Amino acid sequence: MHEIRSQKATEAALQNLINQVRDGYRGNSPLVVGIHTGGAWVASRLCEALQWAAPATLDISLYRDDFETSGLKRSGTTDRMPQQLNGENILLIDDVLFTGRTIRAALNVLFDYGRPGTIHLGILFDRGGRELPIEPTFLGESLGEEGVGRCKLHGPEPLMLMTPNSE
């Protein structure tokens, strides 16, 4: 396990993301939804900085598309989601964007809550390698198309981008 982005560099990416989101919404706070677990940490920090209500968290494990090859991967809990979405403006937050499959699963979960008005995507680190037509609306830092290999956000305090435990 080694560091890809230090605490300082991760905080700088987070600040960049927060600035963009602040400019993007200009006072009209959306319903912020963080994907469990890294996305939820980023969403909490973002809402704190902008003085918005605490974010909802989303568990997407039952909507993944790799059950056939990888089996059941439990990831966490869904919390603070409204009973029903009906025209809400949603800001979906995740820590690292790669193939886009996690975001696809998250969009499906959101639509099982109703019909959101708009959904924007905020990402802390983009590592390229997309397999679906999904792009962030707000981005902390692009790690470049070359890619950095597998990585994982460590947190919640301090936030740091690392290689996974097994490497």
Partner 1 sequence: MHGPAALQLTPDGRLKHLLTTEGLPKSLITELLDTAETFLSSQGQPVKKVPLLRGKTVVNLFFENSTRTRTTFDIAAHRLSADVVTLDIRTSSASKGETLFDTLKNLEAMQADLFVVRHSAGGAPFFIADRVTPDIAVINAGDGTHAHPTQALLDLMTIRKHKGDPANLSVAIVGDLKHSRVARSLVHGLRGMGCPDIRAIAPGTLLPADLAHLGVRTFHHIDDGLSDVDVIVLLRLQKERMSNALLPSEREFFNLYGMTESRLRHAKDNAIVMHPGPINRGVEIANEVADGPQAVILDQVTNGIAIRMAVMAMTLSTQQGSHS
**Which residues are near partner 1 by CB under 8 A?**
59, 61-64, 67-74, 76-79, 81, 83-84, 108, 112-114
User: Do the Cβ atoms of 158 and 5 come closer than 8 Å?
Assistant: no
Residue type, 162: M
Q: How far is the CB of 69 from partner 1 (least distance, A)?
A: 7
Using the minimum distance from each CB to partner 1, give the nearer residue, 51 or 84.
84
Q: How far is the CB of 89 from partner 1 (least distance, A)?
A: 19
User: Do the Cβ atoms of 17 and 138 come closer than 8 Å?
Assistant: yes
Contact residues for 9 (Cβ-Cβ < 8 A; gap 6+):
141, 161
Using the minimum distance from each CB to partner 1, give the nearer residue, 112 or 157.
112
Cα–Cα distance, 12 to 80 (Å, whole number): 28
Using the minimum distance from each CB to partner 1, give the nearer residue, 81 or 162.
81
Q: How far is the CB of 57 from partner 1 (least distance, A)?
A: 10
